[in-house]
Structure 1
Amino acid sequence: MNRGKSGGRFGIVDVGSNSVRLVVYEAAERNPVLVFNEKVMAGLGRSLASTGRLDPKGINRALEALRRFMALREQIGVPQLVVAATAAVRDAEDGAEFLARAEDICGFKIELLSGIDEARLSAQGVLSGIPEADGLVGDLGGGSLELVPVSSGKPGPGATLPLGPLRLIDLAHGSLAEAESVVDRTLAEQDWLKDFQGKRFYAVGGVWRNLARIHMAQRNYPIHVLHQYVIPARDASDISRVIERLGPKSLAQIPDVSERRVEALPFGALVLDKLIAALKAKEVVISAYGLREGILFDRLDKKEQAKDPLIAGCRDLAGRLARFPQHGDEFFSWTAPIFAEGILGETAGEERLRHAGCILADIGWYVHPDYRAHHAMTQILLAPFSGIDHPGRLYLARVGYHRHEGRGEPELLGNLSGYLTEREHDRALVLGLALRLAFTLSGATMGMLPKTRFDIGKNSVTLVVPKKYEPLVGEIVAKRLSALARALGRKSNIKVGK
């Protein structure tokens, strides 16, 4: 695909075996901000296995969806639009005929992805949202399963297998027992899978996201964000086996199961259970990023691709909500002495989270003071970030809370303390208190903080302030400095310099 970034909104129409979906992003950039998302469950691949052709009703539904999406493109204003077709259109005898009709509606050429391209782009999408991913990506569509190794930020050579739920339903005539034989036989032919035993499995696809929602509900898990949600492999297998045994009526009654996924869910659960067994996986990591995000990432220039997705996402949110979005870099430098070696110290990953916390420090300023702490915490917990796991997200949320509330303990979302280590709790409190002090000292303005500094000794924390800014050092500054020093197990001092 052609690389390059140009202005304006960027859209993708994904013509899949089960659904046809339009997603529109604010721009083609490292942190893709979704502004519109619509899906039609067309079922193009419903009868492909038995007839070799696309489902007639599915064709009509897909073409109607494309007509609407092209009208929406004009209505919303989407100068850059990619339309990509995958397994069903690729494999069907009448795929070329369907493409011709679809291209008449679109007015331009549709990209028919090969199995290799689909697998690569799906894996690239996962890596764009989880850059440190190391293991095997599985993207389950209606007609196919893409399996791709990922490591060191790059996808390896993978495979496309005919194990999508719609195809399995058709092949097995709706019988899970027959489908099990198909899955067992197909996976047994993949000798290369043994090289990834014991590694993480990164699950992509709507069916598997529904399984994750069920797991969240069972645990009463407080952070309803699917991206980078981790399910122990044993739990994933247990849920899959339960789902396999339930009939459509029982599945439809589960609150966390999409009605549109009821038919496919047992077959997708079967595939996941078999993959976990074949891989001897210990964990299943849910990725909200997949093919569409891979297509978008592939369009970015090298400089944009190299950006940290978490930092890019934090900058985007701060740019929308903070008074001075640039403040974050000042805070990052200003708080560095507190986390220096010999004081608190920090790993590269902890430094990255501190940077993110500093960027997000002011996103709650416009809310009523009584609600700022909980508002900031909620914004961070639920923000559409990538490049961060759930403990990291919770750490940043606690930083945002303490920045507004001081040493208090959040009541929001029940008891969250068990999801972080004592070290993480302590560091979130210290950073939050430091940011609370920073806003008080500077009057929430730019340029003043870099002229002050911390001198931190074995028993004391000294804030050094130039003579010019001495009048800014009042009772509240002293109080908040003292709170920070106590969190570090030290006493506070203020020194006026030249």
Structure 2
Amino acid sequence: MQITTKFAELERVGVIDVGSNSVRLVVFDGAARSPAYFFNEKILCGLGRDISETGVLHPEGRARALRAMQRFAALAASFEVQSLRAVATAAVRDARDGGEFCKEVLAQTGIKIDVIAGKDEARLAAQGVLLGRPEAHGLVSDIGGASMELAELSNGTVGTQVTSPLAPLRLADVKGDVDAHIRRELTALRKQISGTYETLFLVGGSYRAIAKVDMIRRSYPLGVLHEYVLEPAQMIETLDWIKSASPEDLAASSTSSATRMALVPMAARVLRQLLDVFGPRRISVSSYGLREGMLFEKMPPDVRARDPLIEACRVMERTSARFVGFGAHLAAWVAPLLPDAPRLQRLVLAAGLLHDVSWRSDPSSRAEECFDNAMRGNLGGLDHKGRVMLAMALLHRYRKSGKIEKYKTLRSVLNDEEQKSAQIIGQAMRLGASLAGGDPQVLAQSQLTQSDTHLDLRLGPQAEAFGGEVVEARLAELATSMGRAARSGAL
């Protein structure tokens, strides 16, 4: 199923990842800057199980993988996927019967599998990180079932890439001192990739499972793994706990599948040594990896250069808001009330684009739905602090008090100043949307300014009729939050 088309004509992009542990199909709804997951399914096949001893793909895993590929071919056709690419990594790459398996898949499904080299695997994983964080700088580690890759990132560019057999399915067959073996391999890799890395980006299901254990052990208030950031000392505590935990305790500490958790102890041993050998100052978990890297590869440079958060919010506005295009005008109207900090202004724009996407919801649940859109949404380019600020701004957009039960556990993520900024953004959007409805010309005919003592709303002749009690009440709410007195009059 080799389907090619021009980038501009792509509607759905399909990626099949034939890994050592799982086989997965992801269908992206277009090659947009921020990935929209139209379909995502994996089958845990274990193709690489026992490969170190046998030299061939695991027979049961091979049969399951072939069946999965047949299903994925049928699904891709039913979804009218216009561009479909399948890649295989370490297990198929190293197995004596890997080529035979690829021929069998091609004969039965029409799908040609590209067996990629380890360095290509490292590059694609790093590109996946770039999809969510365009200016990422540090070291990417991607662990699968049968290989572990490392790649440098410097100011948004992929540098040196290396690959190794430091992965659970391979290490399970190592005789003798496994930790000493891991240390020797990592020491050799350190000579090839020798920079200083502030941030270690973790890619791969086993790493994400480890991060989930850390979250649960610490009662972390967010459930989103993407952009979960922690210090090495904190991670080491969790890795040491995993090493001493019983299988029952380990299973109870995570929501990951039993098959995935079986790989975690060995992956944890690799990560523990990786932290010692490379010495990063912080760790960042990425939900984006090889598959997203393949999507990133299809994007022209001008699309890659766009902000993934803002692009995702623009798509949501375009598909769900009443007044498409109004959000950017509202954000520009609100922005002067806040410090001219790039990070904060970016959140203002994101909030403006999302402020109206839940208008079809019941009014009693609209505030909570807006909150959840930010907290649970697939938003790249947004760290956890920014995610909570965005959610709180949208909550204040629809709820006067800004109170919500689930927010209580999240307050610790923001300091007092950040909480206040989120409240001001939301209440200012509430005022601007009430004043203008969805007409940007009304905003253009109004002026919202602040002094040390007052918050002033001035309306021009064409906007004067849009004023009223509701607008005055929301101006007063915002002024109170800003510690100022409200005033209104003619412009």
Task: Identify the TM-score tier after normalising by the shorter chain.
Answer: over 0.9
- 1:68-107 → structure 2 map (5 Å cutoff): 68-107=71-110
Q: Deviations over 1:204-232 (max 9, x none)?
A: 11111111111111222222111001122
* 2:366 corresponds to 1:367: no
Equivalent runs, 1:79-478 vs 2, <5 Å: 79-172=82-175, 178-192=177-191, 195-197=194-196, 199-339=198-338, 345-478=339-472
8 Å CA contact 2:445–2:463 kept in 1: the answer is no
The AA in structure 2 aligned to 1:244 is K
Three-state SS of the structure 1 residue aligned to 2:409 is coil
- Answer yes or no: is the 8 Å Cα contact 1:193–1:279 preserved in 2: no
Q: Distance in 2 between matches of 1:134 and 1:96?
A: 36
What is the rounded CA distance, in whole Å, between the counterparts of 2:22 and 2:370 in structure 1? 36
| Unaligned segments of structure 2, at least 5 residues | none
The aligned length equals 488
Q: Is the contact made by 2:216 and 2:254 (CA closer than 8 Å) also made in structure 1?
A: no
- Taking structure 1 as the reference length, the TM-score comes to 0.93
Q: Distance in 2 between matches of 1:230 and 1:36?
A: 27
Tell me the percent identity.
37
| AA in 2 matched with 1:269 | A
- Could you say what secondary structure the match of 1:307 adopts? coil
Q: Deviations over 1:390-432 (max 9, x none)?
A: 0000000010011111343332243322211222111111111
**Cα distance per residue 1:79-107 (max 9 Å; x no partner):** 21111111111122222222211222332
Closer, same or farther in 2 for the Cα pair 1:58/1:194, shift >3 Å?
Answer: closer
* Aligned-residue RMSD, C-alpha: 2.0
Give the partner amino acid of 1:435: M
Question: Where do 5+ consecutive residues of structure 1 fail to align?
Answer: 340-344
Aligned equivalents of 1:274, 1:119: Cα separation in 2: 19
The amino acid across from 2:212 in the alignment is R
The alignment partner of 1:414 has SS state of helix
Q: 2:51 aligns with which of 48, 65, 82?
A: 48
Please list the CA deviations of residues 18-50 of structure 1 after superposition, one character each: whole Å capped at 9, or x if unmatched. 111111111111111112111111111112212
In structure 2, what is the Cα distance between the partners aligned to 1:289 and 1:3?
A: 24
Distance in 2, Cα, partners of 1:93 & 1:2:
34
- The answer (yes or no) to whether the contact 1:18–1:141 under 8 Å persists in 2 is yes
Question: How many angstroms apart in 1 are the aligned matches of 2:13 and 2:53?
Answer: 37
Q: Equivalents in 1 of 2:88, 2:411: separation in Å? A: 45
Contact 1:115 1:159 in 2 (8 A): yes
Partner of 1:342: none
* 2:476 match: secondary structure: helix
Q: Matches of 2:109 and 2:239 in 1, distance apart?
A: 39
Give the Cα separation in 1 of the matches to 2:355 and 2:397.
7
Distance 1:116 1:255 in 2: 31
8 Å CA contact 2:392–2:402 kept in 1: the answer is: no
Aligned to 2:32: 29
When structure 1 is superposed on structure 2, of 232-241 and 36-45 the one drifting more is 232-241
Question: Are 1:486 and 2:480 an aligned pair?
Answer: yes
State the 1:193 CA deviation. 7.3
Give the TM-score, by structure 2 length: 0.94
Secondary structure of residue in 1 paired with 2:392? helix
Q: Given residue 306 of structure 1, which amino acid in structure 2 is its aligned partner?
A: A
Q: Verify the 8 A CA contact 1:210 1:257 in the aligned structure 2.
A: yes
Q: Which of 9, 14, 36 is matched with 2:12 structurally? A: 9
Q: d(CA) in 2 for partners of 1:318 and 1:134?
A: 31
Q: For 1:143-192, what per-residue CA distance to the aligned partner results, in whole angstroms no more than 9, with x for missing partners?
A: 111101112011111210111111111334xxxx6322221110121234
- 8 Å CA contact 2:24, 2:43 repeated in 1: yes
Residue type of the alignment partner of 1:383: G
